[in-house]
Amino acid sequence: MADIIGIIGIVLGGAGILATAIVGIKIFQKQQKADEKTNEFIKEQHEIILKEDERKKTIKRFYVSRIHSDYKLFEKHYNDLKQKIYNYLKNSPDEKSWLELKGLIDGRFFGQVDSFVTITDDIKQIVPILNNPRLMDKYSLILDFAGQMKGYAKELSENKHYDNTEIIKIEKEMDDLTGRLKEFWSLLLEEVDNLVYESGKGIVKITTNL
């Protein structure tokens, strides 16, 4: 009888161990499936982030390319103005040089500035997806730039008898304005070239060439 009881005890003990092992295996399998689902979810989220960054990158590149074209065109107009200023300073008080400078300002430059200001429409299109907080409201800089630039140009156009020192001073103010514009442009290019997002593996940097 004791032997039978012993055997039964052994069988029950073995069954308990087996049951525990089965439960452990099932828990492990469930945990594995849960981990797989979690990893799959994380992977899907990374893919969504990548696609969204690519979409933003495409939008930014489109508008920044257009802004770049307008910027380079205005830069050419401004260099033309500086050449006329240089000619006037070189030949001052030559009447012809002053008339050429005045004619450029009154006949073309004011309109060229007004045309350049329309880039604010393109800048506004990308403001919601800009990463750099320093660029969020910078499109207003263009309006301020245009007003001041036209003001300085008007001074040159309406004051025939400015001496060279005063003209050089005005030109420097205009150069300072365009310098701030170039700084804005550099920040805008960085915004396109350095699209950054957070991933499960840390910071990922997407670099493109405009």
Cross-strand partners of 98: none
Identify the helix (H) or strand (E) that includes residue 5. helix 2-91
Is 181 a member of any domain? Answer: yes
Residues 5-60 pLDDT 10s: 555 555 555 555 655 656 666 766 677 666 666 666 555 565 665 677 788 888 88
Give CA–CA dist 122/21, Å, rounded.
66
- pTM given for the model: 0.68
Is 154 a member of any domain? Answer: yes
Is 132 a member of any domain? Answer: yes
CA 205, 206, 209 angle in degrees (round to 5)? Answer: 135
- How many domains does the chain fold into? 1
> Which domain, by its residues, includes 114?
56-207
Mean pLDDT of 142-155: 92
Q: ω before 93 within 30° of 0 (cis)? A: yes
Q: How many CB atoms lie within 10 A of CB 104?
A: 21
Is 48 a member of any domain? Answer: no
Give CA–CA dist 136/127, Å, rounded.
6
Is 18 a member of any domain? Answer: no
Is 189 a member of any domain? Answer: yes
Is 90 a member of any domain? Answer: yes
Is 71 a member of any domain? Answer: yes
Q: Say if CB 120 and CB 143 are below 8 A apart.
A: yes
- The confidence band for 205, taking pLDDT boundaries of 50, 70 and 90, is very low
Residues 87-143 pLDDT 10s: 988 887 778 888 999 999 999 999 999 999 998 888 888 888 877 767 766 667 888
